[in-house]
């Protein structure tokens, strides 16, 4: 497996896996222009790291750097691995690479948002993430 910071040259392989992510999570299909804007936004505010296996993208992590009045933090927006490649440590390797990216930028805190019913939170706990606040929403 090879991990790589995504560049514009990786856009086409990213589109394919991003569409699988959308399908797996029931997100309405987005056209390539929408995905390109998202791709550029992540790369401008942070990075996308791709996991390649035999020249095929099998997973990715999208993360940003966020800054408010008090601190600069990393934020993992999405982590996804194709079903047939899950359980092989790919998401952990992607997370580790993103944390290294943050450390090089002297960012010492990383956050991830997760729905309370999402089973992925167990993986995030194994990675060392802890609940540090609750966020509540109201649809209006």
The tens-digit pLDDT sequence of the chain (140 residues) is: 999 999 999 999 999 999 989 888 888 878 889 999 999 999 999 999 999 999 999 999 999 999 988 899 999 999 999 999 999 999 999 999 999 999 999 999 999 998 888 888 899 999 999 988 888 889 99
Please tell me the predicted confidence (pLDDT) of residue 62.
97
In the chain, the domains with their CATH numbers are: 2-126 (3.40.630.30)
pLDDT of residue 83: 94
d(CA 73, CA 16): 29
Q: Are 64 and 75 in contact (CB under 8 A)?
A: yes
Spell out the residues 6+ positions from residue 102 whose beta carbon is closer than 8 angstroms to its own.
63, 65, 74, 108, 110
Cα of 126 vs its chain's centroid, Å: 17
What pLDDT is attached to residue 135?
80
Tokens representing residue 2 in the block = 């090879």
């Amino acid at each position: 497996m090879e991990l790589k910071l995504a560049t514009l040259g990786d856009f086409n392989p990213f589109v394919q896996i991003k569409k699988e992510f959308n399908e797996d999570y029931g997100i309405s299909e987005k056209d390539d222009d929408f995905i390109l804007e998202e791709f550029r936004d992540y790369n401008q505010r942070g990075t996308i790291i791709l996991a390649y296996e035999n020249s095929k993208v099998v997973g990715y992590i999208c993360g940003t750097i966020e800054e408010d009045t008090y601190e600069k933090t990393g934020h993992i927006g999405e982590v996804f691995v194709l079903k047939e490649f899950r359980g092989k440590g790919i998401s952990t390797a992607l997370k580790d690479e993103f944390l290294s990216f943050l450390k090089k930028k002297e960012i010492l805190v990383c956050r991830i948002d997760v729905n309370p019913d999402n089973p992925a939170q167990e993986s995030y706990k194994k990675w060392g993430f802890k609940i540090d606040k609750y966020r509540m929403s109201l649809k209006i």
